[in-house]
Structure 1
Amino acid sequence: MTLKLKNPLAFFDLETTGINISNDRIVEISIVKLLPSGERVTKTQRINPQMPIPLESSLIHGIYDDDVKDAPTFKEVAKSYAAFLEGCDLAGFNILQFDVPLLVEEFLRVDVDFDPSKKKLVDAQKIFHLMEKRTLAAAYKFYCGKELLGAHSAEADTMATLEVLLAQVERYEGQEVVSTRGEHLGKVANDVAALHEITASNMVDLAGRIVRNDAGTEVFNFGKHKGKGVEDIFSQEPSYYDWMMRGDFPMDTKKRLTEIKLRGFNKK
């Protein structure tokens, strides 16, 4: 089919040094501008982020420091990209949560005017999530081909979940599972330990405030220290532990924090 357009629609994607909108930088930008005539114009370029690219990011997008050392900085190309996007609406996958905010940060950093409020934004991920519901009833329909009667009654939901899991194992057994960050989590198998590995193996506390990274180290999964080792933060900023213990966090989270703090203390 052909999209009906009044303005060019610029589909774009960013590869970056990380996922922190305020601090991370673009290492590659690709734009496919779809014109009302149906013509497509593509502009793709590596960018020197002027900071080291973390290895965990490079392993996902395949771009390393040497690949961008001779590339232009965003400041050097910002005006050309602002001009390329002039008069365009924007589209992409997860652009509302990540790509648009980070791109705007880059433009603001180099004092180039780029106002997304004047553009229409289309996020294919949002449409996907709106149309393909992530409810138990939707999963039951998808995997089992049946309507969930009595939804939100405990027994009906429990029986449906059992059937869904059986259908998932049958459908996906032997298939590799890869996270949205490109991490290989293992294969789906008719084995509870294997299913645990791909769904909950990195959890430390039940609220998900603390998780294990690829190296198995407990790291914070929220806030200003997201991705940083819990023991390291407690060593560098002891008051952070006190703040969390006084804060509105679940008792299970506080229990795990105390265990980590005591373990670190006993190492000294």
Structure 2
Amino acid sequence: MQQSQHWYEGPLASFDTETTGVDVETDRIVSAAMVLQASPGAGPQSATWLADPGVPIPDGARAVHGISDEHVRTHGRPPRTVVAEIARALGEQARAGVPLVVMNAPYDLTLLDRELRRHRDLSLADCLAGTELLVLDPRVLDKHVDRYRKGRRTLTDLCAHYGVSLIGAHDAAADAVAAMELVRALGARHPGPLGAMTPAELHLRQAVWHSAQARGLQNWFDRSGSPERVDFAWPLRPARCGCGRRLSPEHRCEAAA
């Protein structure tokens, strides 16, 4: 009898963005990519987007991804169009039940949600229309299976640790491909704690694991006297209004509901 296929041997999608900065509430998407792969070693299919964010790209961000204001003004498309297409592409994979790899998901998915709210007056959840993403976050997975390993855990660091090739770092498509290969490597190396679960089970577990990881980091900040605050939410940070209260699903302030 043939053994059933593990999730890391099957179809995966992967999503990544390059942006104007690291603040999910105020920064903008400059480029994005979604990569699909039917199985390990199969040729990936990529969809890419370039947006004119409508604001200047800071020098620091441009130094990371190499995309200039002139380039997006010439070749980029309106962000309103781009974010709608991205959300539609993610929704198609969610409806097909394909797991979505997102390195540091609370960053990319929250930024996309805020861009949708900014340009379409819709949340990511609105665009998914009740369908749930099955997110696999290599950052959370690696911290869970190798909690006490010292050193940084950026995409570049994780790829080096797991022997995954990363060519053209900080290009959205290249980073998406590397994150996908990284998740496959994580599943294959840890078939017990990761490979035995379904993507749906892993999605639920990662929310718990991320919360515990964030709590540990917050405790460290508190002990060191740092004012830094860590968000425990995964894979998407809740939207808040100007008063700091969470927004309801109808985009109203909960304090006024």
TM range (shorter): 0.3 to 0.5
Whichever structure has more strand as a proportion of its residues is 1
Higher relative contact order (CA 8 A, sep 6+): 2
TM-score for both structures, normalised by structure 2: 0.47
